A and B are shown apart, each in its own frame.
Chain A
Amino acid sequence: MSQAGLAARAAGRASRNALTGTRIRERRTVMGIRQTDLARTVEISPSYLNLIEHNRRRIGGKLLVDLAAALGVEVSALTHGAETELLDQLSEAAHDAREVAAELPRAEEFVGRFPGWAQLIAAQHSKIAQLQRQVNAMGDRLTHDPALSNALHEMLSKVTAIQSTAVILAETKDLDRVWQDRFIANLSQDSQDLAARSAALVGYLDASANAELTPATPQEELEAFLARSGFHLAALERGGAVAPFVERTEDAFQSDAARASARDYFARYKSDADALPLEDLKAAIAELGPDPAAVSARFSLDLARVMRRFAALPASPGLPGFGLAICDGSGALTLRKPTEGFAIPRFGSGCPLWPLYRALGQPGRPISDRIGQADAPDRVCRGYAVCAPVLPMVFDGRQPMESTMLVVPHSLMAADARPRDADPEVRAGCLTCGRDPCIARRDLPLLGEVF
């Protein structure tokens, strides 16, 4: 991340920290407790509490816990108010619009004085991000969705036939009656075909008009289901059984194929959860950092399983979850969990230089690299990948292979592990990557030099 970006984030954090004092003051006032009495309860001087309440002293640790207890609220109620999310969004908006020098240190003041304007900016930033995702998805779709590509081709062919025929009828003065009748019949037939194809195309597009990720395949149904819970299945953690969960979630899937995929996924999730409970994983990450190899060694578990467990960690406010991509031996993506700074294409595959695909060629050898998106150059992620057999190994048998890639977003990396170079080695895919020349390019960038 750039120095300016770091400064912006730091300013945003400072604003959020500053709000804690304001919340303490508001809560105390609502409860009708005098400042002197509250100070005595938590064993500090009234003047020090006054400084805290006016956000002129940072607060944390035992004193924060004591104050929360004295005010009868959870600590999080003092540190994460409703406006924290708004400040997060403003910080993000300012960060994304680096050409504008927003006064981030005064964000809290701005939210306090102009809450409506602040919400408007946050809402517009959210809308812009949504539109950007839709542009990426549509570009991806136009290039890789064979149904859409064929439909457009057929419609344009009909339009061409109609246009050519109509021009002949209109401009050929001596056209005899036989040809006239023939071309009019063609025109009628093509017009009807075009109307039918247009209606079909509108229906096809309408199916996804209200959602960015309308499931079209069993895999997408499963991914959409998992996305709703951030790929974290609380019911299967801590000894939860698979069968009742499968039964409860059956209605969430439209196709039997999706239900079958879900059953397999849930069984694997449960097995992973039993092998590496989340609390143990969290503790290991806190100690070792988000390094799947180190965690794998700590628990003597295979790397792919550890990566899947990373991806099952729930996201928390302000912190994105880990991304995950899994592909089979043919390179077909079988699971996609995008994360901040790394969107995984919905159609087609990603960049051949992803560690995920490079690992396919070197089974058993972990590979990592800097990966990211062209439109998020300061949020370079790190991808960790390994390829391993899906089933226990047997002699002389056909063994399907599977490659797994964990994506550690920039904001979850340890500060000293974050890439200094803003430009990732590998990007999400050709369509949004303007790198030229590229030894692995398959498609031209959809938006040219935009990024």
Chain B
Amino acid sequence: MHHHVLLIEDEPNIIEAIRFILSRDGWQVSCHSDGATAVDTVARLEPDVVVLDVMLPNRNGFDILRELRAQEATARLPVLMLTAKGQAKDRERAEDLGVSAFMTKPFANAEVIDRLRSLVEA
């Protein structure tokens, strides 16, 4: 059975690259780029895991994560957060909000796959 990952990211060429490597690895990949409607998209698609960028148009990843954790259906949904801001405070903020894993851009393709596998198999 293919695991379903929702990639919430606004950089089109990152989306294309990650979609490509995950698809070849056997994942079902959905993509979404708008922060404002991200939570609704998660509720509608019911992915097994979410890859969430911090800086998104209209709403940042921290706010999205906070709302996901506040809803019963997504309170324990695995979320891998991506950010270009590697400062410790972002990591701490994400951990406080209940992020499952955290990666800083630029990241290695193989690392994304490894992290997502460990999240859905946990």
Give chain A's interface residues, CB within 8 Å of chain B: 143, 149-150, 152-161, 163-165, 167-168, 172, 179, 182-183, 186, 189-190, 443-444
Within 8 A of A (CB), among B1-57: 11, 13-14, 16-18, 20-21, 24, 55
Q: How far is the CB of B23 from chain A (nearest CB, A)?
A: 11
Beyond A156-B106, A157-B11, A186-B13, is A164–B88 a contact (Cβ under 8 Å)?
A: no
A168 and B105 form a contact (CB under 8 A): no
Q: Which residues of A contact B109 (CB under 8 A)?
A: 164, 167-168
Cα A444 to Cα B18 with chains together (Å)? 32
B84 and A153 form a contact (CB under 8 A): yes
**Does B59 count as interface, using CB distance less than 8 angstroms?**
no
A160 and B107 form a contact (CB under 8 A): yes
Q: Which residues of A contact B108 (CB under 8 A)?
A: 163, 167
Closest to A165 in B: B17
Identify A159's interface contact among B21, B88, B106, CB under 8 A: B106
B17 and A161 form a contact (CB under 8 A): yes
Closest to B106 in A: A160
A159 and B85 form a contact (CB under 8 A): no
Beyond A149-B85, A156-B84, A156-B106, is A164–B14 a contact (Cβ under 8 Å)?
A: yes
B106 and A163 form a contact (CB under 8 A): yes
Q: How far is the CB of B28 from chain A (nearest CB, A)?
A: 19
A157 and B92 form a contact (CB under 8 A): no
Q: Which residues of B contact A165 (CB under 8 A)?
A: 13, 16-17
Identify A164's interface contact among B18, B85, B87, CB under 8 A: B18
Cα A50 to Cα B66 with chains together (Å)? 80
Cα A186 to Cα B88 with chains together (Å)? 31
Identify B105's interface contact among A149, A160, A183, CB under 8 A: A160
Q: Which residues of B contact A159 (CB under 8 A)?
A: 105-106
Q: Which residues of B contact A167 (CB under 8 A)?
A: 108-109
Closest to B11 in A: A157
Type the 1/0 row for B78-122, where 1 means its CB is closer than 8 Å to any CB of A.
Answer: 000000110111001000000000000111110000000000000
A160 and B92 form a contact (CB under 8 A): no
Identify A444's interface contact among B16, B89, B107, CB under 8 A: B89
Q: Which residues of B contact A182 (CB under 8 A)?
A: 16
Q: How far is the CB of A445 from chain B (nearest CB, A)?
A: 9
